[in-house]
Structure 1
Amino acid sequence: MKENKEKKTKAAALVYDQIGAPRIVAKGAGEVARKMIETAEAEGIPIQKNELLVEALMQVELTKEIPPQLYRAVAEILAFIYRLDKTKSSPSS
């Protein structure tokens, strides 16, 4: 029997309101993940591809804060997003 080695698409969405740690607000696999990504792209929400991080985030319950062991990885993504926002809001030269 042949194994299906195709990886299932997975996605997780975070919110950070600067109170406590970032929280998981959505997550899914397969069609749900594809729809999340499609919606984020349509809304101009930054997407960061990181398979290891999304696997870890999939283990966090919805609405829960991320665990301390994920702080550094998520902080790097937040810094990426803040840089994007700053670039978008800067006047063109």
Structure 2
Amino acid sequence: MTRKNPYRKKAVALEYDQTKAQAPVVKAKGQGYVADEILKRANENDVPVQEDKSLVEVLSQLNINDKIPEDLYQAVAEVFAYVYQVDKKTRN
């Protein structure tokens, strides 16, 4: 008898275009192998990754190309602030 892993890794990739006055958009999402691929490609392209299981859980309910809802703006803004800081440190 095989048991399924109760926790499968999940990942969500967001895109934010500062030149547009729009909310960030879900560009990729997945679990298991797909999540591993999202993280692998992020690492290959020097895209900072932040781990936040509860936020990923909520964002994974959205569809690809969906804008994030207003009630998630604060949480996502914190992620982008983290990414900005990591990017700034990496460049220096």
TM-score range, shorter-chain basis? 0.7 to 0.9
Larger Rg: 1
Aligned to 1:76: 78
Q: Which amino acid aligns with 1:8?
A: R
Correspondent of 1:40 among 39, 42, 63: 42
The structural deviation recorded for 1:35 is 1.0
The alignment-based identity, stated in percent, is 40
What's 1:24 paired with? 26
TM-score, normalisation: structure 1: 0.87
Partners of 2:9 and 2:31 within 8 A in 1: yes
Per-residue CA deviation, residues 5-24 of structure 1 (Å, 9 max, x unaligned), is: 53001000000002210000
Find 1:89's aligned residue among 72, 88, 91. 91
For 1:2 and 1:13, how far apart are their aligned partners in 2? 31
Paired AA for residue 36 in structure 1: I
- Unpaired stretches in structure 2, ≥5 consecutive residues: none
Q: 1:56 to 1:75 in 2, by over 3 A?
A: same
- Offset of residue 33 of structure 1: 0.5
Displacement of 1:85 in angstroms is 1.9
Partner SS state of residue 28, structure 2:
strand
CA distance in 1 between counterparts of 2:42 and 2:2 reads 35
The Cα offsets for residues 50-77 of structure 1, whole Å up to 9 and x where unpaired, read as: 0000011011111011001111110001
Unaligned runs of 5+ in 1: none
Letter in 2 for 1:88: T
TM-score, length-scaled by structure 2: 0.87
Task: Supply the distance in 2 between the matched residues of 1:85 and 1:41 (Cα, whole angstroms).
Answer: 13
